Structure 1
């Protein structure tokens, strides 16, 4: 019985640690998403004949405005996909933590 309780407790602690890690990752991805959306908004205000530069390594080269917009759209879609995936993981770990704590509580009540 004690060994089972220890395993459940370990699972709960592991899920809580994973949950904290996932929350940090979601926050970072959301911050990056906001930056990309702001960049896209700024590009929409730029005229067709404006000079646009894209980063390549440590330097910048003049780039076609449409290709920059396309790249930003792809990055935004990728970030949104990552955030959705992380939120699913978050839900899983929240459920696992709640279930483990409920099982531990039932075990404590049955032992008394």
Structure 2
């Protein structure tokens, strides 16, 4: 059973549109993952620097336009919490990336299958 050309074009346009949207979202998610990994690396470097300080060292954290003296142990706890939050964010973004890549691949495969079945008559 042959699909009318107009209906076939409409289906192909929808699949192509979904493929383009998935591709754009993939790029966006990859950029978000890279940014989160950079933040994580900065936290690791900060933690390693604060970790080697003697316990009585004054450490200051920025709050708005001022700085507040904070014990190094509190800073380390905050850095660990932020680090675990970033790891969770990266994990969730990687799951989203996998979903988007699967959607993109399926869209492209569907597009190619329709073209092969139609014999390129579109």
Instruction: Kindly report structure 1 stretches of 4+ aligned residues shifted beyond 2 Å.
Output: none
Q: Per chain length, whose mean CA-contact separation is higher, i.e. which structure has more relative contact order (CA < 8 Å, sep 6+)? A: 1
| Displacement of 1:66 | 1.2
Structure 2 gaps of 5+ residues are 1-7
Alignment: residue pair count? 112
Please state if 1:7 is matched with 2:14: yes
Q: TM-score, normalised by structure 2?
A: 0.89
Structure 1 unaligned residues grouped into runs of 5+: none
**Residues 1:23 and 2:44 aligned together:** no
CA RMSD of aligned residues (A): 0.7
1:31-62 Cα deviation digits (max 9, x unpaired): 00000000011111111011111111111111
Provide the residue aligned with 1:62 in structure 2.
69
Q: Which of 92, 100, 103 lines up with 1:85 in the alignment? A: 92
Q: Which has the larger radius of gyration?
A: 2
